[in-house]
Structure 1
Amino acid sequence: MSNDVVVQPAAEAMEANDASSLMLLIRPQWQAKGLIERVRRLLPVDPSSACQRLLNAAIADLREKIKIAGIDIAEESASAFGLPPVRKADDIDNYSTARIIDLAYRMGLLSRPEWRRMTRVYDIRRDLEHEDSEYEAGVEDLIYIFKTCIEAVLARDPVTLIKVAEVKDVVQAAGPAVADERMTEDFEHAPDTRQIEILKFLLSLSLNESESELVRSNAFTVIGVLADSARDNVIVELAKHMQEKVGRRGLTALEVRVAIKSRVYPYLRKAQKKAFYSGLAGTLEAVSYNWRSNANHGSVLRSIIELGGLAPVTPEHLPRFVKWMTLCYIGEPGGYGAGVGRAVFFSNSAAPLIHEIFEAAPEVVRPELVALESDRDVQAAKIRGVAVSRRFDELLDLVEPR
């Protein structure tokens, strides 16, 4: 009888799919463990058993990662999503395989696609446990288990989930705050409950006028960075929280600014947003667009830039903003007085700011600007001189598709 090892066709297919290369992706601390070594030995002769052991290693790794991330976060996530209670490390050890996968997902240690893949792997493994003459694992099943366990779990480093105290230390530093790549990555992997907790803290700090300007500025900067990494359902929850704080009263400029920065603005009440921009349009119109009022133009236009420009303006009031800025930009014929050598008199303080505002939102401005070509006031201004008309054309060119 020959002592040669018989290589199964499934093993050949596994190797054809770079099983050995995938094994090299496993983190060093697992490479050295006996369980992974057994997987290597079993792979050529019993791929099904090798894959089951690889899944065992992945589940053990998830248990370790959950403990590293923190029992407090595991407890929060388990409670929030109806999973078995977690109060100590032993509770994690007693979790079933399916529940460990769910808890890791709810804690942010697995993305949703990874959670779905790992759940499918668990279902395949249950079939493998009952493998007999009626069911035999297909090569595609084995490859799926192998790739998923390594790519979604064993190749990934543990994540230490971010705490509110860490964010607090950053925004209360003695200088400008920076949400670095590590903080952003940790926040992105945090569970919903932790993301909401952190964003609520930053929102409160940004709106707290009793705090120092530096702390509020830092909170505003950091919430903008972290909100970009927050899940959509977290932003919706944050919007509800802010709406509860605002109640039925009108929005302040600070609240709108923070709402836009933190991505909650679209979820605030339409009536309150309309009222705010109606008031802001009135403030703008109270300042004459005539070039002689240039000393008052800078502050009001800069406040609009701080609020995100024209993109957040409610559609009902957008035409008022665009018309005022257009008339202010195009000016009136010059050539007299101290400006005898100047073809157009326009506001030097307003023109570059209006250029910046229009350039930042061409899709929003373009339809309104085109409509203004037939506006009586704009037509009257253009008729007064070729140089004025050219300045209107400059604005049209500015918002044209590139």
Structure 2
Amino acid sequence: MTEEKYELEIIPKAELQLDPNHEIIEESGVKNYLSRIRPAWHAKQLVQRTMRILPVDPSSACQRIFNASIHDLREKIIMAGIDIAQEAARNNKLPNISSDEDILERYDTGKLITLAYRMGLLSRPEYRRICRVYDIRKDLEHEDDEYEAGVEDVVYIFKTCIDVILANDPVQIIKLTEIKSIVESPNPVTIDRAVIEDYKQAPDPRQTEIYQFLISTSLDSKHADIVRQNCYNALGSIRAFTNRNTTLEAAQHFVEKRLGRRPPLLSEMRVANVSGILPYLRTAHVNGFYKSYLERLESTGYHWDNNDKHGELLRDLKEVSGTIHCSEEIIKDDIIEWLIMCYLGEPGGYGYHGRHRPVFYSNSGAPLAFEIIQEDSNITLQDINRIKGKSHEIKKQISNKYVMRRFQEILDIYS
């Protein structure tokens, strides 16, 4: 059975005997804290009864305030979701939970405080403060003849219990079904600010549930294209508000359950990038993708007469953040060399269309190639010069003064 009882007995006036420290407690402003307690507890007469007993028996008043806060915490855990409580208990080796009654009636107070912390209902500083209050409360309860609440105990217990728990409304944690109802619309949708705020406040288990659903659905060909795109867009909207633990767990699940030992496909890289899990994938997986993408670039070629293929080819590369995540130097250098050649083009000035065009280059590919190079903060001037130094094709093309001007535009990125 739980320990706390939050109802206060009414003490007959004839038995009232003021505590020796009642004047100091009064001057400490403890009663002002009571005004911050939520109206729901005012309706239960908690404030009135606490004010009545405080001058007479501060120790009992402290115990009652603490017990009320623990009862409130139990109700908040139920409102947050029994599924989140079950997972938090399982992951942190806390007693099993099978029903609301386990929380309301059978969960030990110390374990309950830990459960609330692991669910995300208490921050770590709040958790430590409530644990200290619990230690003081046990002293008051079990050492009545040896330990009475001092002024410092009263102030600390009242301020902590009220500021951390009793003054705060229950958290309405967003449910997976709410996200599903949004992204499964037959029309393009965006996640509005209110939903993002609810997601931001959700504890790790609920965020993880939502995030993994969006990742999985965005890659599931069984779903309509519009639903998959909605999930993809939703990942981009909530990525910045996702806890690091959720991102790490999603990355681990992505590798173990989806990739195994193979490199990711383009669609998987797109989703990994927009969801923020790409930096946490295995290096071998990521470099394996870039190796296959280099083969795609080389099979297409950078020559300007392949202009009609370059747009889609390089937009796909931009959707995985270009070359930023490629850590294999040889592969990355070859990709950058291809991009440089696509941007440079070759000497023009001949034929009907070349009369006013000294350089022929891909109209669709060149701007994208320049952007990919420019947006990769890992590329340095030394890298560009090193690649130029070992590339016969680049050196050949920039021997033309007009092509050299285009190469200078790339160098100017680093000036």
Normalised TM-score (structure 1): 0.82
CA distance in 2, matches of 1:306, 1:122: 52
Give 2:89's match in structure 1, choosing from 70, 78, 90.
78
Give 1:213's match in structure 2, choosing from 225, 231, 245.
225
How many pairs were matched up? Answer: 393
1:397 corresponds to: 412
The answer to whether the Cα contact below 8 Å between 1:358 and 1:365 also exists between their aligned partners in 2 is no
The answer to whether the Cα contact below 8 Å between 1:8 and 1:45 also exists between their aligned partners in 2 is no
> Which string of whole-angstrom CA distances, capped at 9 and with x for unpartnered residues, describes residues 208-264 of structure 1?
123211011112222344454343333333233222222233421111222222333
The answer to whether the Cα contact below 8 Å between 1:7 and 1:44 also exists between their aligned partners in 2 is yes
CA distance in 1, matches of 2:131, 2:220: 44
SS in 1 for 2:96: coil
2:271 corresponds to: 258
2:363 corresponds to: 348
Task: Identify which range, 32-41 or 134-143, moves more after superposition.
Answer: 134-143
Q: 1:310 to 1:121 in 2, by over 3 A?
A: farther
Tell me which amino acid in the other structure corresponds to 2:264: L
1:267 corresponds to: 280
CA distance in 1, matches of 2:153, 2:76: 26
2:298 corresponds to: 285
CA distance in 2, matches of 1:102, 1:362: 43
1:322 corresponds to: 336
1:159 corresponds to: 171
Tell me which amino acid in the other structure corresponds to 2:45: G
CA distance in 1, matches of 2:176, 2:230: 15
CA distance in 1, matches of 2:198, 2:66: 25
CA distance in 2, matches of 1:30, 1:366: 66
Give 1:383's match in structure 2, choosing from 399, 402, 405.
399
CA distance in 2, matches of 1:212, 1:236: 28
Question: Aligned-pair distance for 1:39?
Answer: 4.6
The answer to whether the Cα contact below 8 Å between 2:59 and 2:148 also exists between their aligned partners in 1 is no
The unaligned stretches of length 5 or more in structure 2 are 1-17
Question: Aligned-pair distance for 1:282?
Answer: 1.6
Task: Identify which range, 340-349 or 59-68, moves more after superposition.
Answer: 340-349
CA distance in 2, matches of 1:130, 1:240: 47
CA distance in 2, matches of 1:56, 1:362: 55
Q: 1:250 to 1:192 in 2, by over 3 A?
A: same
1:245 corresponds to: 258
Give 2:243's match in structure 1, choosing from 216, 231, 236.
231
1:90 corresponds to: 101
CA distance in 1, matches of 2:384, 2:148: 68
Q: 1:60 to 1:298 in 2, by over 3 A?
A: same
The answer to whether the Cα contact below 8 Å between 1:363 and 1:399 also exists between their aligned partners in 2 is no
What RMSD in Å do the two structures reach over aligned CA positions? Answer: 3.4
Give 2:162's match in structure 1, choosing from 134, 150, 174.
150
Tell me which amino acid in the other structure corresponds to 1:158: P
Tell me which amino acid in the other structure corresponds to 1:303: D
> Which string of whole-angstrom CA distances, capped at 9 and with x for unpartnered residues, describes residues 350-385 of structure 1?
232123323433344655335345444434433321
The answer to whether the Cα contact below 8 Å between 1:205 and 1:219 also exists between their aligned partners in 2 is yes
SS in 1 for 2:210: helix
CA distance in 2, matches of 1:139, 1:322: 70
Q: 1:38 to 1:277 in 2, by over 3 A?
A: same
Task: Identify which range, 292-301 or 275-284, moves more after superposition.
Answer: 292-301
Tell me which amino acid in the other structure corresponds to 1:214: I
SS in 1 for 2:174: coil
CA distance in 1, matches of 2:279, 2:134: 40
CA distance in 2, matches of 1:320, 1:144: 64
The unaligned stretches of length 5 or more in structure 1 are none
CA distance in 2, matches of 1:214, 1:374: 47
Matches within 5 A, 1:131-150: 143-150=155-162
Matched residues, percent identical? 45
Q: 1:71 to 1:249 in 2, by over 3 A?
A: closer
CA distance in 2, matches of 1:390, 1:30: 75
Normalised TM-score (structure 2): 0.80
Question: Aligned-pair distance for 1:129?
Answer: 4.4
The answer to whether the Cα contact below 8 Å between 2:300 and 2:309 also exists between their aligned partners in 1 is yes
Task: Identify which range, 325-334 or 97-106, moves more after superposition.
Answer: 325-334
